[in-house]
Amino acid sequence: MGWPQRQRARTPRINPPRPTALAGTLLGRHPASPLLVPTPFARFAATCDALRQLDGRNAKREGAAELLAAVDRDERAPTARFLAGQTLSPLDERDLNVGSSVLADAAGEGQTPLFGGEATIADVARVVDGLADVSGTGSGQRRSALLGGLLGRLDEDEQAWLRALFLGELRTGVQEGLVLDAIAEAADEDAEIVRRAHQLRGDVGEVAARALADDEPPLADVDLELGRPLGPMLAEKAEDLETALAEAGPRAFVEPKLDGARIQIHRRGEDVRVFSRRLTEVTDSLPEAREVGDQLDAEQALAVGEVYAVDEDGRPRPFPDLMRRFRREHERRASRAEVPVAIRLFDLLHVDGTTLIDDALTERRARLEELAPEDLLTPAVQTSRLAEAETVYDQAQGEGHEGVMVKAAESTYEPGRRGRSWLKVKPAETLDLIVLGAEWGHGRRSEWLSNYHLGVRVPDDQRDLLQEPSQPGQDPVTRREGHAMVGKTFKGLTDEQFGWMTDRLQELAETEHGWGVEVAPSLVVEVTFEAVQDSSKYRSGHALRFARITAIRDDKPVRGAATVADVAATGGPR
């Protein structure tokens, strides 16, 4: 059986905006209308203005719901994404490559508007789609033309909100979860049904479009679709094995924590597709995973596992070696001969027409053991005894793995959610941090951007944890909303990795200085450190002691990186 074509989130062609009567509402200049004419982007900007000033989750939810209920049918999906601070669907594998410098160039060129009249939300979505398609020679000029034509139809306030949208700095206090609640309110739908649909579809825009349409099947009918990636279930860190076992409850599963990358293998008949943690397709990069899918004893299946690089003895190699298999199209990927990998499966989410995510892990594991050869499974011991768990931990460490995972036997699979039904136990303090800038090195490292500015996310509800740095010059990214520095490091990378980082950070550069670059917050690195100490240098209030990059996690999205609260919790109370 063939695969359904994976649809890119494109905006349908829409006629030029028709005149719309202005009226004052609580949140916008344009009332909801049964005529469903395209909605001026001015209303989105006015809604964001109001949301930023509103206090309380309920008020913000109602404001977002009012906008979603008012927009044209074809604008529901982009409006929901825009409210959540997204330009494209998370399932869209294209990149916009639009940073502050590109926006500045577009604004400075005084482009002639490409379309007449007031810009609509649909127009913005159409430009976003066009930007994502730009590539090759002259791409910078074409981006400027697209953006310039749009900016010419926006007033100063609307331009400011468009810039904030592109840079991920809306700062309205509205996150994806709140947008889902707003969709439920606007559609008069149960919030749990909306959230489950989002777990299965992975795109807040698609959920909004379906929930608000009168002629679509009920949202409650949404099910897992083979060939469409699910968000990964995420684990929290436990202080130690004893704590993890106590939290997980009786007969928890204890498995080695493999130092690799999460993958999901979708099989439909003879067709097998493989997706990464970031929901991008990596089938061509990992023919070994396709071969694993072929060995599953089922006509249809969705299995989740981990892939990691191995040496000639089968022991784990450093994570950066694995990433050579996932390089982007214009870079040379390492071959399977250069970087052999091992794949181990640990979960089963679908088999032959039956979705299993609501079944207990005990049942899912049993079904997986029926389908997959034993040598393809992550070893797992079900136990409540600390001594047995310690044996698994010691064996995992001895084999070169990070530590162990402790999973509640009754846990269901919750795509895209982080919770304490799955816990990880490993020795070193480790955080996933964002590279916010880099300095040119000295001496042997002078040709590379090799001293990295490490940062964390600052969600709206954690802004009270920030402080004014005593030495602002030590924190070059103080101006960046939504992020804060926690230190710098040049340790941990090889010369080859320094070269790769230099090329990548120059692509992401937003501002160049004599000392280096400030970059768009797009690249995640795994950092180990000895301790967290108080610091007046950084507005995070913390600095990592003896930080060292242990892996370039180009497979991880920025939204999964550590927050300022995570660092505060690691370092203890300030």
Positions annotated as catalytic residues are 257
Angle at alpha carbon of residue 94, lines to 89 and 95, rounded to 5°:
100
Cα 143 versus chain centre, distance = 24
From 305, 263, 259, select the one nearest 280 (Cα to Cα). 263
Cα 264 versus chain centre, distance = 16
Q: Strands 234-237 and 354-355, how do they pair?
A: unpaired
Distance CA 458, CA 463 (A): 6
| Residues composing the chain | 574
Cα 212 versus chain centre, distance = 25
CB 282 within 8 A of CB 263: yes
User: Residue 289: in which H helix or E strand, if any?
Assistant: helix 287-294
Query: Within 10 A of 432 (CB to CB), how many other CB atoms are there?
Result: 18
Local structure of residue 153 (DSSP, 8 states): T
For residue 171, give both structure tokens.
Answer: 């700062």
Cα 23 versus chain centre, distance = 38
Judge residue 203's burial from the number of C-beta atoms within 10 Å of its C-beta, 0-12 exposed, 13-18 middle, 19 or more buried.
buried
CB 354 within 8 A of CB 370: no
Phi, psi of 244 (to 5 degrees): -65, -45
